[in-house]
Amino acid sequence: MKVLFLGWEFPPHSVGGLGTHSYNIVKALSERGVIVNVILPFKEHTKIDGVNFLTFESGFFDGMYNISTKKEADSNEKNLYRDVFNEVEEYKNKAVELSSTVEFDVIHANDWVTGRAAIEIKKRTGKKLVATIHSTEYDRTAGKPWERIEKEEKALIDNADLVVTVSRRLKEELISLYNTNEKRISVIYNAINRERFNGIKRDSNRKVVLYVGRLSVQKGIDNLIKAFRIVSEKNDNALLYIIGEGPELSNLINLSINLDLSDKVIFLGKVPDSEMETLYSIANVFVMPSVSEPFGIVALEAIASNVPTIVSSQSGVSEVIKNTLKVDFWDTEQMADLILGLLNYNEANNEITKNAYKELDSITWDKAAEKFIEIYNK
């Protein structure tokens, strides 16, 4: 089996879970004997033995395209369209050119940004197109989609022979929003390399609440900060570390100041993957408060690091991990109660952490790769 994998993010060029997914699934496929040709819009990338990388240096690419609010989006419309759609068109042209230099049986697209390229390559070659949808424009904009991006997304889904989503909730979203035939959609959950996080220990003297991810409306970090105000009033030693970057940064800093939390909420920016183990090691509680989260790989990383974890009920990862605490993203009082409970009761911490960790046995990239191979062969 030979696969043409259309990648948009790949370590170290990763904004969110797409880069983590792409690296791990390509590696797992290759280890199973699949010949994988990966097209990327940048020359610098993590290498994988046995994988053929076809790269070009984009004149536009920066990996980010969604902005935080419709008001901000309207004011930046010209720049967004110029940058994003130039990137997508350039990617299509380069991918078509590079794809002609290799043999492949299946085209594997990832999200709408690779859609134009995938559709054009399918048109020219007649090869099967499999599209993995990691999130929708509705998710990324908290229900305020950009019409042009929405159309590109629908075009990829409609032209794909088979569609893969990373959760059941995302599958249901495609059926509802895009009227996609349920029989064309398979669910393959994201996974975790648990060994990377084994043996990590926390400093028991710290009371650190940790968030890791994009700073966007979709992620619900404003509600976490509001919940943390309640936590801080009852536990003066608690700190909230926010890891990541994105369009909501200034709004979140201002919110922290307005809630008198400027010395309690620490914004650490983007942190290299090589340092994430250390950050998980000092965390007493991890919170993923997303308004809408198709999956949420970072929650698996926290669980693999033996960090008691709270996830939004509106997340895909809640479908595969049963032994973790769940909360509605909007319920800041309940979120604060759960955080305080985990900070104050070690016995409950240990039981939840131990049971969640055991669940990771069945959540591996190897199993995900096996399911993709089954889909390629359909």
**What structural domains does the chain harbor?**
2-191+363-376 (3.40.50.2000), 194-362 (3.40.50.2000)
Q: Is the pLDDT of residue 375 over 70?
A: yes
Q: Is the pLDDT of residue 365 over 70?
A: yes
pLDDT at 255: 98
State the average pLDDT over residues 346-370.
89
pLDDT at 72: 45
Q: With left for phi above 0 and alpha for psi between -120 and 50, is residue 59 left, alpha or beta? A: alpha
State the average pLDDT over residues 343-347.
81
Q: Is the pLDDT of residue 17 over 90?
A: no
For helices 221-234 and 249-258, the axis angle rounded to 10 degrees is: 30
Q: Out of 71-75, 262-266, 280-284, pick the least confident.
A: 71-75
Q: Which residue, 34, 40, 50, is CA-closest to 12?
A: 40
Q: Is the pLDDT of residue 360 over 90?
A: yes
Q: Is the pLDDT of residue 71 over 60?
A: no
Between 194 and 331, residue with greater pLDDT:
331
> Distance between CA atoms of 272 and 1, rounded to whole angstroms?
34
pLDDT at 198: 63
State the average pLDDT over residues 295-322.
93
pLDDT digits (tens, 9 = 90+) for 128-139: 999 999 999 988
**Encoding tokens for residue 241?**
């570390």
**Encoding tokens for residue 202?**
């926390």
Q: Residues of the chain with pLDDT > 90: what percent?
A: 74
